Amino acid sequence: MTRIIGTSEDEIKIAAETLKNGGTVVFPTETVYGLGANALDESAVRKIFKAKGRPSDNPLIVHISDLNQLNELVSIIPESLHMLAEKFWPGPLTLVMKKSSIVPDIVSAGLSTVGIRMPDHPVALNLLRHAGIPVAAPSANISGSPSPTQADHVIADMNGKVDVIIDGGDCRVGLESTVLDISGEVPEVLRPGGITAEQIKSVLGEIKIDKFIYGKPLDRSAKPKSPGVKYKHYSPKAEVILFDGDLDMVISEINTQANKLAEHKKVGIMATEQTKNSYSCGLVISSGDRNHPKTIAANFFKLLRNFDEQGVDVILIEGVDKQGVGMAIMNRMIRAAGHNIIQCGS
Ligand code: TXA
Ligand code: MG
């Protein structure tokens, strides 16, 4: 049985006890909801993989509320850690470092590194402080489906599979954290997210960006640096087609395709404030304002689920500019589309 609770001090204490006793707790963060368990307890962590149906070779992020917790979790603290933590923690940045021997192999999926972040959400921080342990937590969705940004998404995916769900309202950022590997010589972005590559460059100077960010999915035997990139991700039940390129041509191509598809399918169009009146058929929903791409990030996963709820068969999505948080948005759009992309114009 899953207990669904609110965010009062007493309720957070109940959730913290559940974590200390080896149970599973879904909690809100500023990015997406996380499905947490004691990171140092192998059998507790196993419950996360089971509830999500997650492949065992995909490592988990460990959440902390205090910088001092790092000392026991990592074997080498890179010089860049302090600059990054000072600027971006608490916040949507996961830092990959060499792990210490107390981090069970199940957490790191057998890698020699561990990803750590301090979430910027009062409920998450309060829960972590009361629990007093590092908490391993992936996004609280069934493996492969869109990450949950509201409690009802979590309830749809996880009710009956976890011990506690904390309903903490909507997640502000709406996309997962940036994963930055600082275990090697040159820091490398493995997954774009809430903290942009430009923001990281302003602190560290040159950084690398993993080539799989917009790349093709790999076969299952491949060994990319961030194992998560080889799995199908963020997929609603509907088919997704992404339209990228010149915006006028994108609109025109979506209209052409929507009219054709509407003959035998229910069509959804993920538009923006600037373009929502440009379509002549289909269920048109605006994801946000192109001049403020954070609004699009905040709504993206929610809209994938909304289209499914409305019985849409195929979702046609307008691509966005890859600058700033646009890199993370396009990464999620490309993967939700399973690389089903129509390039419009040059
Ligand atoms: O915002 C977030 O990061 C959310 C919230 C709950 O904190 N968590 C999250 O976790 O998105 P998850 O498990 O859905 O995604 C973690 C990603 C995966 O792509 C995984 O492969 C990568 O981070 N990752 C974790 N540990 C890693 C490591 N040691 N080396 C390389 N990649 C790692
Ligand atoms: Mg995830």
Q: How high does pLDDT run on average in the chain? A: 95
Pocket test for ligand 1, best of 26, 143, 176, 183 (most atoms within 8 A of CB): 176
Q: Which residues have C-beta atoms less than 6 Å from ligand 1?
A: 29, 31-32, 34, 58-61, 92, 94, 96, 108, 111, 113-115, 119, 137-139, 176-177, 179, 190-191, 225-228
Residue with CA at minimum distance from ligand 1 atom 31: 226
Tell me, yes or no, if the pTM score tops 0.85.
yes
**Which of residues 220 and 105 earns the better pLDDT score?**
105
- Over the stretch 238-256, which tens digit does the pLDDT of each residue have? 999 999 999 999 999 999 9
Give 70 Cα–ligand 1 centroid separation in angstroms: 17
SS3 annotation, the chain: CCEEECCCHHHHHHHHHHHHCCCCEEECCCCCCEEEEECCCHHHHHHHHHHHCCCCCCCCEEECCCHHHHHHHECCCCCHHHHHHHHHCCCCEEEEEEECCCCCHHHHCCCCEEEEECCCCHHHHHHHHHHCCCEECCECCCCCCCCCCCHHHHHHHHCCCCCEEECCCCCCCCCCCEEEECCCCCCEEEECCCCCHHHHHHHHCCCEECCCCCCCCCCCCCCCCCHHHHCCCCCCCCEEEEEEECHHHHHHHHHHHHHHHCCCCCEEEEECCCCHHHCCCCEEEECCECCEHHHHHHHHHHHHHHHHHCCCCEEEEECCCCCCCHHHHHHHHHHHCCCCEEEECC
pLDDT at position 219 is: 55
Helices 293-309 and 326-336, packing angle to 10 deg:
20
Tell me: pLDDT of 297 over 70: yes
- Nearest ligand by distance to the CA of 138: 1
- Over the stretch 119-129, which tens digit does the pLDDT of each residue have? 999 999 999 99
pLDDT band with cut points at 50, 70 and 90 for residue 346: low
Residues with CB under 5 A from ligand 2 (ion): 139
| Lowest-pLDDT range of 142-146, 167-171, 211-215 | 211-215
Residue with CA at minimum distance from ligand 1 atom 20: 228
**Which of residues 219 and 194 earns the better pLDDT score?**
194
| Lowest-pLDDT range of 83-97, 162-176, 212-226, 279-293 | 212-226
- Over the stretch 161-181, which tens digit does the pLDDT of each residue have? 999 999 999 999 999 999 999
Q: Which ligand 1 atom sits closest to the C-alpha of 108?
A: 29
